[in-house]
Amino acid sequence: MSSSLESGDVKQQSRTALNVRGLALLALSFQTIGIIYSDIGTSPLYVLNGIWPASGDVPSKEDVIGGVSAIIWALTLLPLLKYVFITLRFGTHEGEGGTFALFQGLFPQEEKDYDADRTLTGDSYKAQKSPKNYKIASQLRWPLLIWSLFGTSLTLADGVFTPAVSITSAVGGIAVAKPEVSSDVIPISIAFLVALFLIQSRGTSTLSYVFSPITIVWLLLLASTGIVNIVSFPGIFRAFDPSRAVMLFVRTKDYDLLAGILLAVTGCEALFANLGQFNALSIQLSFGCFVYPSLVLAYLGQGARLVTDGEAVISNIFYQTIPGPANGALFWIIYVFAILATLTASQAMITATFSVIQQLVNMRSFPPLQLKHTSETVQGQIYIPLVNYILLAATVIVVAAFKSSTALTNAYGFAVATVMFATTILISIQIRYVKHQPLVLAVAFLLAFGFFDGLFWGAALKKVPEGAWVPLMIGTVLLMIMVFWTWAKGLEDRFDGHNRRNLRDIIIRKEENDVVLRVQSRDSEHIIDEQEENDHTQKLEKYYVLDHNDTKAGFELSPDDKSGLKVMARIPTCAIFHKLTTGRGVPHTFISFFRQWPALPRVVIFLSARVLPIARVAPEDRYIVSRVRTLQGFYGVTYHLGFRDHFDVKVEDIVDRICVLEAQSDPKGAASITAEIREVAKSWTHIVPHYVVSSEDVQGGRLSKPVSWIRRFLIEDIYRSISTMFPETENWKGSADKIIHVGISATI
């Protein structure tokens, strides 16, 4: 079909999980402390008061030991065992984590054949799609998709409440030393939040190097004060006995205590969601060797002081248990670092939110928002301006509406518990169908961790009337958007795939009685055996090429041609047709173009873009060019970009490669051909498709008319409007005066 010119082995690259060792691993582990653990690391600010509110009675010694025991074992079983040592092994091949990544593992995207993008005269796109071969029943795809999207949507909702809860809890400590300014806690918290969101454009890597030392000092302060406080009551070490936790609930019969204990593990989902930012080994090292022991010591110390000083510390257990006077130097040092640590806690969820949104956009389950990459080395580190400002507005509204950290903690936790439950179910399925482990192992994982997740989820569910309905509402709205976009975009992509055409079916016309392929050129007529053109075709057929006698005058029919074929003018210009999806054949844009402009450019380029897992691609490696031998002036091009590169097609570079191909094909006539190509390529235009979608009517059944009306409303009124606001080319912007948007009517 074609000859091609390739650069190096750049086309062989695909994004993989980040793999580093030695000093690079230590540096990455250092970064994780500043980004991932600040959420779970600031939980000591409010957990014990979440279990025993300041307005309630002082708990007994045995209740305190039992509560601390429940916290320690919750940290051990969920963040440490379930997430750090098990769940991190279930990221995607690209290194991404999170609930939606688990769904990708169950139903992975088909492998993309990027060479097929430059195949313009082969079999149709539809015929070349490889059959799906899922191990898990395809009927479960939509239920599992909705379940994973629900978990994902609640992770995003958690991105609103984590900054609200952690920062207001930290700022609220000022009332311990300065009661007269307690009324200013909310305005001060909002000011910190605004500042945090405004610096997000600096990027994850920059922020992690700023915040990591702060978080390390914060955790060291927690561990140190914990050790000092433990001295007041060494008997608190009995909390390592899990039976103490069990006896707490047997003795009190207070199921609601679990809602407070749940606050100790908020942020554990961020360990998995941020996997794309770092890697599993760096997270395992930093959490297991540093974060986990620091948290355990902090809770043990708080429990020891609550046992010994009960009434004196119950009003604000964290700040009241700081060794020394309430207005002393250590108090203010910890207060400052508490605020700084809660800012990084907020950063953890903001970063995770960006990562999750990127996954959703790539999986075509969310509108294509503008993404800005902020790292030269890690593709997963991104900034999404629109999401950043929506999170800012939502967080400020939540803080202002709930008015206190106590009210916020009632709403907090439901999203965390639901996401943990969703993760457990999806991993259980992956154990069997992706990791191919025995069924008994999958069932054991589901029963063991599903039991604990279910306990926490039930306790959080009871908080819905007290404020947990807010994250549930946010998550439900996001779920509806995701499911709707996945469905509608899938219909549009299917239309695009079904309407790919073989270039020869458009430009070359078939004659019924001929058995060879006849190609007319300017110099002579030569015969090409069909087997040379398409080896797997057994039947030989003849095609007439409507070639031009004068390349600048246009296509003309041979004098003896009686077929009545339409003359197609060929104009001295260059058109670049963008292929938005992977596959063989030419896109529907090409057909629509010459229906509206009945002429063919002298140089026609079909361009496919591919983002590689490196920051930048060298200029000499950016383009792979294929030439259609049987049609002059038609070329397929794959354009490689690094994830930090801007979409900027250098037509002159493509033309240089085209000229090399033409010279290889016809060395004698290369000078005149390449001179002509370079001349017409001075005038070039990008041709980008814009689908104007319409809904198909539902046929048959009593409900066909109302269903058709609903379907029409969703597709033609909602989806059409949103897709116009967020076009496919959102992250591939070029010069506006060089772009023609071809409207294509698509019935989906």
Rounded to whole angstroms, how far apart are CA atoms 668 and 136? Answer: 58
Joined together, the tokens standing for residue 348 give: 């953890």
- pTM for the complete prediction? 0.79
Rounded to whole angstroms, how far apart are CA atoms 574 and 40? Answer: 57
- pLDDT mean over 491-498: 83
- The pLDDT score that the predictor gives to residue 670 is 78
* Residue 267: DSSP 8-state: T
Domain boundaries, the chain: 10-105+141-494, 503-567, 568-747
Q: What is the pLDDT of residues 42-100, one digit of tens each?
A: 899 999 998 998 888 899 999 999 999 999 999 999 999 999 999 988 876 666 777 87
Rounded to whole angstroms, how far apart are CA atoms 284 and 85? Answer: 7
- The pLDDT score that the predictor gives to residue 39 is 80
Write the CA distances from 62 to 240, 251, 315, integer angstroms: 13, 10, 20
Rounded to whole angstroms, how far apart are CA atoms 573 and 557? Answer: 21
Ranges 139-143, 175-179, 294-298, most confident: 294-298
- pLDDT mean over 370-388: 75
| pLDDT over threshold 80, residue 461 | yes
- The pLDDT score that the predictor gives to residue 560 is 38
- The pLDDT score that the predictor gives to residue 665 is 82
- pLDDT mean over 679-697: 86
Least Cα distance to 317 among 327, 306, 326 occurs for 306
Residue, of 442 and 728, whose pLDDT is higher: 442
| pLDDT over threshold 50, residue 468 | yes
Q: What is the pLDDT of residues 516-564, one digit of tens each?
A: 223 333 333 333 333 333 333 333 233 333 333 333 333 333 333 444 4
Rounded to whole angstroms, how far apart are CA atoms 713 and 607? Answer: 34
Instruction: Calculate the CA dihedral of residues 501, 605, 673, 622 and round it to 10 degrees.
Output: -130
Q: Please, where are the H alpha helices in 263-384?
A: 268-273, 280-286, 292-313, 317-320, 329-362
Joined together, the tokens standing for residue 271 give: 């360990």
Spatial strand order in the sheet of 623-628: 2-5, 623-628, 634-642, 599-612, 569-578, 684-694, 739-747
Residue 469 dihedral angles phi and psi, to the nearest 5°: -65, -20
- The pLDDT score that the predictor gives to residue 121 is 64
Question: How far does CA 266 lie from the centroid of its chain?
Answer: 21
Residue 468 dihedral angles phi and psi, to the nearest 5°: -70, -10
- The pLDDT score that the predictor gives to residue 173 is 81
| pLDDT over threshold 80, residue 15 | no
For the segment(s) 10-105+141-494, the CATH number from 1.20.1740.10, 1.20.5.510, 3.30.465.10, 3.40.50.2000 is: 1.20.1740.10
The region of weakest confidence among 242-251, 470-479, 637-646 is: 637-646
Average pLDDT of the chain, as a whole number? 79
